[in-house]
Amino acid sequence: MQTWNVEDFITYLYLIVADSDFDTNTTEVDMVKKRVGKLVLLHFGNKNYDYDNSIIKIKGTLGNSIISRSEIIKTMVDKFKLPSDIKADILSDLSDLALSDDNVTATEHETIGYIKQLLLIPKTVESLRI
């Protein structure tokens, strides 16, 4: 995770949704590649997004349980401090990704809600939680 750049983090978010129904198909993978590539070009000016390189970094990260996912997202949100317009674009893309197979499962819906909560909760509010 320490070697992740913002593109890797965004790819990770998209893959969590694509994998949430335990049926990641080529349409979803292609959509992740295109949408993340477009987003990082638009918001970060990166014309050289490399999906395969991001996958290598992501797969090298230890632990992939829901608890470790939460910690990864919290750490990366704090590290990259994404502006609200980028977060909105990500959440819109995640909804489109879930709809890509014409069927949003309960797991996909819950996963997007979970990511949204972690992306949008300010650190000061989170520190007040018991």
Kindly report the number of other CB atoms within 10 A of residue 114's CB atom.
17
Q: What is the mean pLDDT of residues 53-63?
A: 82
Q: What is the mean pLDDT of residues 18-33?
A: 88
Residue type, 70: S
Residue type, 98: A
- Give the tens place of pLDDT for each residue, 106-119: 999 999 999 999 99
Q: At what angle do helices 106-120 and 66-80 cross, to 10 degrees?
A: 40
Domains in the chain: boundaries: 6-126
Q: Which of 27, 31, 12, 28 is nearest to 70 (CA)?
A: 12
Kindly report the number of other CB atoms within 10 A of residue 82's CB atom.
18
* pTM of the entire predicted model: 0.79
pLDDT (0 to 100) of residue 124: 45
Mean pLDDT lowest for which of 11-15, 19-23, 25-29?
Answer: 19-23
Question: Domain 6-126 classified CATH 1.10.3470?
Answer: no
Q: How confident is the model at residue 128 (pLDDT cuts 50, 70, 90)?
A: very low
Rounded to the nearest integer, the mean pLDDT of the chain is 86
Rounded-to-integer distance, Cα 81 and Cα 60, Å: 23
